[in-house]
Amino acid sequence: MIKTSVAWFAVSCLVAGCASKPPTGSAAAPAESAQPTEPPKSDGPGPAASAEPETPAPPKELKGCDKTLHDFDEALSAAKNECKKDADCACFPGQLSKIPGNDCGGVVDKPTGKKLDALVKDAKKNGCGTMAQCEPWTCEPICEEGRCQRGPRAKKK
């Protein structure tokens, strides 16, 4: 162990130009443990990984029924459903949304209802739909606590 430490010290001194004496005895251990065996590892990615960052593939452009149904769900997702009176609300039909709870139709605010009406016409013209199995329901939109909801209003006793 001491011979190895002395040899390491001699090599280190040749490279670094040491002016002190070689370590002896137990003092040799720190010099030996200070020898780097491999380059320090960094937490970040290596040079190969830090090249160009991967960009996700652009979403494929939707066409036809896929676009209509997508646009329908986008309009539903953006709906505020706020109201002051029943006339501020509108119904939308089923089998045009893939959003759970909306797949069988529902009630939205009037401005969103107008956007959906145009998409409903397009969907009917092109035979679009989700094939959701839905129970029949009657469109009776009501405004309760400032939100558009399905009616009819519960009768007070």
Residue 146: CB partners within 8 Å, gap ≥ 6?
Answer: 82, 83, 84
Higher pLDDT, 97 or 34: 97
Lowest mean pLDDT among 29-43, 95-109, 128-142: 29-43
Pairing of strands 106-109, 141-144: unpaired
Pairing of strands 141-144, 89-92: unpaired
Which tokens hold the place of 41? 């590892």
Q: What's the predicted TM-score (pTM) here?
A: 0.58
Spatial CA neighbour of 124 closest among 78, 74, 72, 89: 72
What average pLDDT does range 65-86 have in this prediction? Answer: 95
Query: In this structure, is the dihedral angle defined by the CA atoms of residues 110, 84, 99 and 105, taken in order, positive or negative?
Result: negative
